[in-house]
């Protein structure tokens, strides 16, 4: 994932600037999903099964942040007149990483995103007016509200949003991790699910574990994970175990129901997104009290 805190405030600030997707110029360093960016970072992704041809997912609807990836998304029941939403990781929030237990809602934002077309060319620029929701508790997600509706965006750019699936990811299903930052697609499958995934101070629930084909790198944080069968977003890419360490920053570990810890060096993970649609009502309005909404709720301390 990346390395905030766990040292002096100077180290924290450096990590936040270099790794977290904080506000900055387009030349900011990418976040650390898997350490140093290898020379092959711009090469095409590949499938775990070389005998099976997997068509690359279109880049249309993905976005590039200053140092993370993301996507223009809609809920299954969103309307064309609703304000658009951009989804990326919680650790890509421009104000820094939310602490464990912190939930941020309805925070003002002026962040910009580069919207990509099918061939990864620039289709236009999207602008946010607020952070609707952000957390690194149970999941790792930020949702921005845009200044334009889906209809306005499609009229000016020709790009339609990706749809968030409202059903749980399927083990064994082929997936594509589509990075707008690197303009690269990683193809693999859902290997299984981690009951708990611990990394530093953060704990994620029911995380998607990739097969080895999705060896994601820095800058891919926030990439939509596309179920290639349905074409819908089934998860959001967020981390990988870089060097085999256990439960440390950049080295997430799995913890099962009995508390047994397992480490999968070189294996990446994503956070499920199927629970998000239940928390949005008519007009793409966030309602954390809605029936079926299980996203963490803010406390008096964490809300701002």
Does the pLDDT at position 16 exceed 90?
no
CA–CA separation, 5 vs 255, rounded Å? 22
Please tell me the predicted confidence (pLDDT) of residue 28: 52
CA atoms within 13 A on the CB side of 295: 32
- Integer angstrom CA distances of residue 220 from 87, 109, 258, 295: 13, 22, 32, 23
What phi and psi, each to the nearest 5 degrees, are found at residue 121? -80, 165
Please tell me the predicted confidence (pLDDT) of residue 31: 64
pTM, 2 dp: 0.85
Average pLDDT over residues 28-43: 40
Please tell me the predicted confidence (pLDDT) of residue 3: 39
Does the pLDDT at position 52 exceed 50?
no
Does the pLDDT at position 295 exceed 90?
yes
**Residues 211-262: pLDDT tens digits?**
999 999 999 999 999 999 999 999 999 999 999 999 999 999 999 999 999 9
């Amino acid at each position: 994932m990346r390395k905030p805190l766990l040292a002096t405030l100077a180290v924290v600030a450096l990590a936040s600037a270099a790794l977290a997707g904080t506000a900055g110029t387009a030349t900011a360093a990418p976040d650390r999903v898997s350490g140093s960016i290898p020379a092959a970072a711009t090469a095409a992704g590949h499938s775990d099964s070389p005998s099976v041809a997997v068509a690359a997912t279109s880049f249309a609807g993905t976005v590039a942040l200053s140092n993370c990836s993301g996507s223009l998304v809609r809920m299954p029941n969103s309307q064309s007149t609703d304000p658009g939403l951009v989804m990326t990781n919680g650790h890509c929030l421009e104000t820094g990483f939310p602490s464990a237990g912190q939930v941020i809602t309805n925070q003002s934002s002026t962040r910009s995103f580069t919207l990509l077309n099918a061939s990864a060319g620039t289709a236009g620029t999207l602008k946010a007016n607020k952070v609707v929701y952000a957390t690194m508790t149970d999941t790792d997600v930020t949702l921005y509200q845009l200044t334009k509706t889906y209809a306005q965006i499609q009229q000016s750019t020709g790009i339609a949003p990706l749809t968030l699936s409202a059903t749980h990811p399927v083990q064994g299903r082929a997936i594509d991790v589509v990075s707008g930052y690197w303009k690269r697609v990683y193809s693999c499958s859902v290997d299984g699910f981690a009951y708990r995934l611990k990394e530093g101070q953060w704990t994620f629930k029911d995380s998607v574990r990739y097969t080895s084909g999705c060896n994601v790198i820095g800058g891919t944080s926030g990439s939509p994970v596309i179920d290639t069968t349905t074409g819908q977003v089934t998860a959001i890419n967020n981390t990988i175990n870089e060097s085999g360490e256990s439960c440390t920053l950049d080295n997430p570990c799995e913890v099962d129901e009995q508390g047994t810890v397992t480490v999968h060096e070189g294996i990446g993970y994503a956070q499920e997104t199927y629970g998000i649609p239940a928390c949005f009502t008519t007009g793409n309005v966030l309602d954390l009290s809605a029936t079926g909404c299980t996203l963490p709720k803010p406390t008096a301390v964490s809300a701002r």
